[in-house]
């Protein structure tokens, strides 16, 4: 069946255009045509002047809708998390497992395979954040779970049969050769929760590491005589850097400075969201610790950051208001950039013929009023 979305402003590669209809067939964008050229057989949907943008892609989603992936690494949990975030424009996501036993990692991988096989909306793969991290930059992670990557772990991390696998690790806790083996096996490798020296990070980037998880948070900083992980990333012009733009994880001025150092399309918005997103109850338990939302961020009883209460719609709004980005730039960092990071830029992340019809309809305040995933509307 052919569908036509019309009477809206459409964010295309050429910018925002008026008077165009987006045609959808079999879950993909079939074309952009003048409204007068909509085929007669098309089922029409009036967008009432709203702004149609590519659906948001979030590579770091620990939970949502009251569900934490670590507590329940199941198909049902993945679907519930996806449904909670879809209300905020997320049409593609990686359910994220923080440091845990390898048996739990295995459960999460198998659940992700099943979720994709069963057509759970928006599931693009999985993000395994730890347990291969630095105790010196552990954040809220349980250091008792930490371990080094051996051949057993490598086999497990590269075992996902469908979808993308992203692994966050501390480069100083492994070797450049192991990073290269992971990358050669098709795993996307990012640095995070790391105290690596600049030299170590440079070696990791040279051996297949292509991203950094929540830039500035839980990593060695840029200093006068040791540039650290932050310095290595800001110098590098090709690796992708995730940003948590909630005004609390990182001072907005720091982010504005970072954006001037490298191409904008190598930054991507992430939420690092916890179960509180989409819920009125703003507290939960994480591996035996009580977490609550204080001034918009999740913290434990000692004030340690424990993920966020951020959604992608808010991240996009914050990027325009706090970082002085245009709408087009903010949306790109929420859609095309993460798609490219995952190697999916030929499949989704833009409104263009042949790509997945993953779309998000916004009002003038950039609130989400409707979404489409593979052409199916919410």
DSSP string, 182-236: HHHTT-EEEE-SB---HHHHHHHHHTT--EESSTTTTBPPP-SS--HHHHHHHH-
The answer to whether domain 2-53+354-377 and domain 55-341 are alike in fold is: no
Predicted local confidence at residue 118, as pLDDT: 97
CB under 8 Å to 344, separation ≥6 — which residues?
Answer: 57, 92, 124, 164
Is 302 known as a binding-site position?
no
Domain residue ranges of the chain, discontinuous segments joined by +: 2-53+354-377, 55-341
Q: CA-to-CA distance for 340 and 110, rounded, in angstroms? A: 25
Give the fold, CATH level 3, of 2-53+354-377.
Answer: Urease, subunit C; domain 1 (2.30.40)
Is 140 known as a binding-site position?
yes
Predicted local confidence at residue 334, as pLDDT: 98
- The catalytic residues are 272
Is 317 known as a binding-site position?
no
Is 19 known as a binding-site position?
no
Q: pTM for this one?
A: 0.97
**How would you classify the pairing of strands 283-286 and 51-54?**
unpaired
Is 225 known as a binding-site position?
yes
Question: HSE on the CB side for 262, CA within 13 Å?
Answer: 18
In this structure, the number of other CB atoms found within 10 A of the CB of residue 117 comes to 13
Class of the domain covering 55-341: alpha beta
Is 43 known as a binding-site position?
no
The closest alpha carbon to 334, from 4, 11, 95, belongs to: 11
Q: CA-to-CA distance for 87 and 312, rounded, in angstroms? A: 10
The closest alpha carbon to 256, from 349, 350, 329, belongs to: 329
- DSSP type of residue 55: P
pLDDT string in tens for the chain (378-residue length): 999 999 999 999 999 999 999 999 999 999 999 999 999 999 999 999 999 999 999 999 999 999 999 999 999 999 999 999 999 999 999 999 999 999 999 999 999 999 999 999 999 999 999 999 999 999 999 999 999 999 999 999 999 999 999 999 999 999 999 999 999 999 999 999 999 999 999 999 999 999 999 999 999 999 999 999 999 999 999 999 999 999 999 999 999 999 999 999 999 999 999 999 999 999 999 999 999 999 888 999 999 999 999 999 999 999 999 999 999 999 999 999 999 999 999 999 999 999 999 999 999 999 999 999 999 998
């Amino acid at each position: 069946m052919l569908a036509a979305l019309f009477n809206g402003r459409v964010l295309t590669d050429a910018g925002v255009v008026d008077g165009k209809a987006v045609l959808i067939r079999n879950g993909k964008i079939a074309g952009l045509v003048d409204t007068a050229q909509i085929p007669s057989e098309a089922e029409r949907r009036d967008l009432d002047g709203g702004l149609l943008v590519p659906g948001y892609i979030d590579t770091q989603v620990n939970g949502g809708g009251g569900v934490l992936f670590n507590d329940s690494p199941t198909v049902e949990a993945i679907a519930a998390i996806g449904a909670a975030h879809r209300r905020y424009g997320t049409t593609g996501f990686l359910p994220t497992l923080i440091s845990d036993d390898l048996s739990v990692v295995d459960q999460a991988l198998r659940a992700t395979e099943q979720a994709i096989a069963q057509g759970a909306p928006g599931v693009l793969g999985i993000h395994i954040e730890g347990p291969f991290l630095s105790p010196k930059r552990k954040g809220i992670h349980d250091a008792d779970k930490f371990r080094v990557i051996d051949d057993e772990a490598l086999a497990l991390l590269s075992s996902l049969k469908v979808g993308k696998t992203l692994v966050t690790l501390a480069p100083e806790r492994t070797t450049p050769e192991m990073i290269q083996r992971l990358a050669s096996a098709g795993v996307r490798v990012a640095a995070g929760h790391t105290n690596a020296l600049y030299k170590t990070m440079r070696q990791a980037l040279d051996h297949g590491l292509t991203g950094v998880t929540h830039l500035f948070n839980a990593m060695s900083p840029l200093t006068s005589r040791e540039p650290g992980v932050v310095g290595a990333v800001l110098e590098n012009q090709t690796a992708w850097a995730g940003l948590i733009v909630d005004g609390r994880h990182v001072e907005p001025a720091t982010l504005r400075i970072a954006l001037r150092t490298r191409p904008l399309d190598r930054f991507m918005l992430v939420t690092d969201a916890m179960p509180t997103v989409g819920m009125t109850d703003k507290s939960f338990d994480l591996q035996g610790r009580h977490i609550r939302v204080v001034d918009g961020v999740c913290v434990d009883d000692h004030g340690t950051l424990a993920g966020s209460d951020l959604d992608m719609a808010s991240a996009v709004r914050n990027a325009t208001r706090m970082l002085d980005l245009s709408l087009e730039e903010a949306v790109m960092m929420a859609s095309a950039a993460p798609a490219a990071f995952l190697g999916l830029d030929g499949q989704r992340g833009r409104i263009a013929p042949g790509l997945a019809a993953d779309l998000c309809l916004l009002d003038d305040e950039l609130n989400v009023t409707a979404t489409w995933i593979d052409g199916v509307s919410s």
